[in-house]
Structure 1
């Protein structure tokens, strides 16, 4: 069931034509700024991968990939959920060195996504991945990278405000990232569900990086699901901002230092996913043949929503919506692309 709610009195800052212009400018600005900040090179990425490769992102383990056969190759393919594992394999195959990385436009279909203001079946991200040294597998390195990404977002916002002065009516992104762990949030509000903990914290800390997602907390439950074979659950997190338009926390990015062989071995066992050890990607990783990396995904439509002050993701991307969503948006005068 859809959960689209358009705030009372909402009116977009930009008309339809200016929105399209702003999206194009935002994408160009942020790509270039991010690539410069993290030393990334643009590469081409797949829309689908072989089902047997183990390269598709399993997300929370219950989402169904869109699958189809390729008769002339005698293989089965899956449309990607994300490129979390493909990027690391690409760094290995392309012989990137320590300190070098890649980024790409990732387009995915998540058929089981529940539709609301922030979620759609189509997912677009800047997926990025960077080779690191063993000494970089630390929380300090993770924090520095988060700060670099946040600064790239701020710089993009400032340039957008110069090009479209009406956007100066929207709040500026906070100048400092607040770092907090999922366990600290559970300790603060053990009686609340995870998303409400996020909301409470981000309302007072409008630019937050929430760390330690995937592993069980003291309650015995994880803050949120994470696949066991890309992020190290002790060195990852989500970048969250306070969305004034919706009055809620908004996740812009999920990222982390990736598993090394020891972390992968441990997390596969904890997640009950030992069968994956026989997949090609996992064999290489467990054997220590893949580079150590840090990486993540940054939502393109999410960042557009935030920086352009939009109430619904359908205002910045074309998609398919349920009747309740289209009726709610039409009643509020919101144009879905």
Structure 2
């Protein structure tokens, strides 16, 4: 069986009908708040893109995209997106979006190589968002301000859910704590990255972990990031590398840290060249997306993804993401979840 966290004394707080109503409530409310908070307008996004253009998100660089041939294009192959990290930046340029404004969309993906557990599914749905910024905005201070505004929208959503369903009690802290992955390593040098995340989230309740993708003092990465969207190598004003990070919370239902969002200031030309060299992937410079960026045809931007099913899972205090979304699960996991009181859709 794939990894399954077995929560102690878990009991669903909402029945199936209330859960479906709650999902709609959360999605409608949060996306409107996100749009207003960051001045984003909704756009329509693709489910798949042509292979070989460098547009698809490569995640950690090892996950295989789902591909298929297109009959009317001479069997040219398309890829189901992993996320829209790079496509959104092309869309900003195409639509002539001005600094201080941006776009968001419903992103649906299939990640066939995902290791299935309480938080990870073959089906990924998130609000992908991207906003145009200026050169002066490429700072840790600007990044933190955006994180605080997103976190405020998350807490407003929690308040609405708790007002709607009295059996659900709030647990998110008022403030989100900022820490760099290098600081976190220094605090917990003998722990794995996941153990460090658990420790810091249990301490503060909500954390934005800065600087993910580059190697730390111990010669290892906290986690992987593709080299061609988030800027994880620029030395920021605090003297540490990284203008990106993850929004993490402590989730009491599962007794572990829980990632709600991955986001960051995107690479400029210098950061792209530097990160491709670090990862020995300079051949990507021949791809369409990278040529556009190197030719100054793409705006500077900040962006990220916020998990829709994950946010609903947390807001409705579910123990498995399969209680929120319809996907495919190993039969033994489905049966075990049923026994544990968390039936999967």
Is 1:3 the counterpart of 2:11 in the alignment?
A: no
Partner of 1:199: 198
Q: 2:259 aligns with which of 243, 251, 255?
A: 251
Q: Distance in 1 between matches of 2:197 and 2:332?
A: 27
Q: Deviations over 1:148-193 (max 9, x none)?
A: 000001111111112212113xx33111110001111111111111
**Normalising by structure 1, what TM-score?**
0.98
Pair 1:184 & 2:183 matched: yes
Distance 2:279 2:148 in 1: 30
Is residue 285 from structure 1 mapped to residue 288 from structure 2 by the alignment?
no
Secondary structure of the structure 1 residue equivalent to 2:195 = helix
1:95 counterpart = 2:103: no
Deviation of the 1:324 alpha carbon: 2.5
Distance 1:245 1:324 in 2: 22
Q: Give, in whole Å, the separation in 1 of the partners of 2:192 and 2:223.
A: 10
Pairing 1:165-314 to 2, within 5 Å after superposition: 165-168=166-169, 171-233=170-232, 234-314=242-322
Q: Give every structure 1 segment of 4 or more consecutive aligned residues whose post-TM-superposition deviation is greater than 3 Å.
A: none
**C-alpha separation in 1, matches of 2:103 and 2:208:** 22
Q: How many residues align?
A: 335
Contact 1:265 1:286 in 2 (8 A): no
Coordinate RMSD, CA, aligned: 0.8
Matched, 1:73 2:91: no
Q: What is the rounded CA distance, in whole Å, between the counterparts of 2:83 and 2:302 in structure 1? A: 15
Query: Are the aligned partners of 2:10 and 2:341 in contact in 1 as well (CA < 8 Å)?
Result: no
Where structure 2 has 5 or more consecutive residues not aligned to the other structure, the ranges are 233-241
- 3-state SS of 1:232 partner: coil
Distance in 2, Cα, partners of 1:189 & 1:33: 36
Residue-by-residue CA offset, 1:294-327 (whole Å, 9 max, x unaligned): 0000000111111110000000000100123112
Q: Is 1:15 the equivalent of 2:30?
A: no
Kept in 1: contact 2:105–2:128 (CA 8 A): yes
Q: With structure 2 as the length reference, what TM-score do the two structures score?
A: 0.96
Q: Does the CA contact (< 8 Å) of 1:6 and 1:328 recur in 2?
A: no
Counterparts of 2:7 and 2:114 in 1: how far apart (Å)? 22
Separation in 2, partners of 1:280, 1:207: 38
Q: CA deviation at 1:335?
A: 1.5
